Amino acid sequence: MSVLRWHELAAPELRRLASEGAIVLWPVGATEQHGAHLATGFDLAAATAVCERAAEALAPQAVLAPGLPFGASPHWLPLGATLSLAPTTLVSVIGDVIASVERAGFPRLVVVNGHAGNVGPIATALGATSESRLVVELVSYWTLPDPAELAAACDRDDGGIGHGGEIETAIALYLERGLLRGPLPKEAGAPLGADRPGSRRTVFLRVPRPLEESPGGVYGDPRAARRELGELVISRAAEALIEHCRALRAPDLGDSPHG
């Protein structure tokens, strides 16, 4: 079965899917600079790719909501080419959509995030759902693959998502979709040390300071990007999302042939 896309379905179809307990998958991204070589819409494209694969595998038990192309990206505004919501605005937008999904009668919503700057605002919006009938979860797609496998597959960035670095550039090579807008850079961006945003080993979180750290707008080393790495990240993320959603529905399915 093909992907069930919310915006392509009529109201009676969505009401039926809600009554049957379908899970809503919602990719949320950003429109922001990604160096000189990646499209500004990369984050949503990557999150959407993971959701599409999951929604297809789970159909008719999942509905793909229209992706949100804007995120909280004020830290990239100094480099231009960025359209950003204020974090407080993103909290409100996420909260309004959550309320709409609840009113539509769906039992579960999984927000699949593609931009690190969105994590705080989305988590804040989720804080208001504790008494909601709708169960809402948030996951950033790059956290779904096994970290050790991802680190082993990287040549330069040690499994860190970075920004326009090895992993994101590899995903662009794999997905195509016009995401690679120029040749791979001849120089690396800001290194993904433990104190840098996007590093796998980062424990203390902070926003990037690109004018000080990487005026080219890249964190990580895109020169090492390989299509195979991009395929691994998207495939493993989709597999983990599918497994999670099936586990969520398992208690409600009983002996259903869709289990």
Confidence (pLDDT) at 154: 98
Fold of 6-253: Rossmann fold (3.40.50)
Residue 87, C-beta contacts closer than 8 angstroms, at least 6 positions apart: 72, 74, 120, 121
148-172: average pLDDT? 98
Lookup: tokens for 141:
């797609």
Report pTM: 0.95
Q: What does the alpha-carbon distance between residue 15 and residue 165 come to, in Å, rounded to a whole number?
A: 42
Q: For all residues of the chain together, what is the average pLDDT?
A: 95
Rounded percentage of the chain residues whose pLDDT exceeds 90 = 92
Confidence (pLDDT) at 251: 65
Query: Could you tell me the pLDDT band of residue 258, with boundaries at 50, 70 and 90?
Result: very low
Continuous H helices in the chain: 11-19, 42-58, 87-103, 119-126, 147-153, 166-175, 210-213, 227-253
Nearest to 20 by CA among 125, 134, 133, 107: 107
For residue 154, report the phi and psi dihedrals to the nearest 5 degrees.
-90, 145
pLDDT tens digits for 190-239?
Answer: 999 887 889 998 888 899 999 999 999 999 999 999 999 999 999 999 99
What are the residue boundaries of the structural domains of the chain, listed by start? 6-253
Q: What does the alpha-carbon distance between residue 41 and residue 83 come to, in Å, rounded to a whole number?
A: 10
DSSP state of 134: S
